[in-house]
Amino acid sequence: MTTLVHLSDLHFGRDVDLAQIAALEALIPTLRPTAVVISGDLTQRARHGELQRALALVRTLERTAPVHVVPGNHDVQWWAAPFDRLGGQRKYTKYRRYFGSDLSPTTSLPGVRITSALSSHGVVWGSMTWKFWRDTAVKGHLPVAEVERCRARLSAPPAEDLRVIVLHHNVLRGRISRRMGLARAATAAARLAESGADLILCGHDHEEAVGTLGDVVVATAGTHTSRTRGHRPSAFNLIEADRAEIRIRHVIWDRARGDFTAGDPARFPRRSR
């Protein structure tokens, strides 16, 4: 069985809830995960101190399991190169200093292959919408090349491996926000549904969710800050998968107890290949 711990939207800086971070550091080793996935927004403003504290958490979690990290829109210095006028790589300089040059990493482990689609591009034309006053530097987009690269990485044998794509922006419409994370969301969703993935992990919306895109299971993690949708408790996802099914539990923060409690699992059959 493969076990994944899926975190998102830590927002080290002004909004981080350090009590939750301490609880995560204590709890995650007891879950004995195959891997830990962090689907972006490690920081609030991509400052050095915020990135350093996020890296310290990753190093702590790596004592338990490999950690797979992708950047979120808050981790991108979009103001360093709006519309990529000074080059498209300047906005990732700080992130790369701490988390490496590969913005779309792949982690291959026995029984599971995890790859990434970069959706956090800063302020660029591809991420713009007609609601630019609200969406600028918030929305992401998913170029076809990102999905095609994921498809190629996931196509390698063995066929029974769990195949996972990680991106930052939510691909299910938020139940409270009613918002999609990606510009041209329907097109992006159709591409992801045909990507060859069994499971997509994302965040961004600050509300936990599960659902499907065709035969692909989607899990959205919450945030470890007070900025949850509808003042809900924070949550991360605990995912267990065998050859028959994928089970996803939201693990909910209880502020009064200072601890997390796992909910009932949502169950999805694994599609056959």
pLDDT in tens, 156-175: 888 899 999 999 999 999 99
What percent of the chain lies above the pLDDT cut of 90? 91
Q: What is the mean pLDDT of the chain?
A: 95
Confidence bin at 86 (pLDDT 50/70/90): confident
Check: CB of residue 118 under 8 Å from CB of residue 158: no
Q: How confident is the model at residue 273, as a pLDDT?
A: 66
- C-alpha dihedral (13, 78, 169, 31), degrees to nearest 10: -40
CB 74 within 8 A of CB 43: yes
Q: Which amino acid is at 15?
A: D
Mean pLDDT of 1-12: 97
pLDDT at 76: 97
Tally the C-alpha atoms within 13 A of residue 186's C-alpha that lie toward its C-beta: 0
Averaged pLDDT for residues 173-180:
96
The yes-or-no verdict on residue 26 having pLDDT over 90 is: yes
108: left (phi over 0), alpha (psi -120 to 50) or beta: beta
Indicate the range of 150-159, 164-173, 202-211 predicted with least confidence: 150-159
Q: What is the pLDDT averaged over residues 9-13?
A: 98
The secondary element (H helix, E strand) that includes residue 23 is helix 18-31
Residue type at position 270: R
- Closest listed residue to residue 3, CA positions, set 236, 273, 261: 236
Confidence class for position 271, pLDDT limits 50, 70, 90: confident
The whole-number pLDDT of residue 133 equals 82
Check: CB of residue 171 under 8 Å from CB of residue 188.
yes
Beta bridge partners of 113: 108, 163
Coil, helix or strand at residue 186:
helix
Give the residue among 167, 222, 160, 221 at the shortest CA–CA distance from 189.
167
Q: Are 221 and 206 in contact (CB under 8 A)?
A: no
Q: Where are the domains of the chain?
A: 2-269
Distances (CA, A) of 73 to 7, 39, 41, 179: 16, 11, 6, 16
pLDDT tens-place string over residues 87-142: 889 999 999 999 999 999 999 999 999 999 999 999 999 999 988 888 899 999 99
CATH number attached to the domain at 2-269: 3.60.21.10
Question: Quick check: 12 pLDDT over 80?
Answer: yes
pLDDT of residue 22: 97
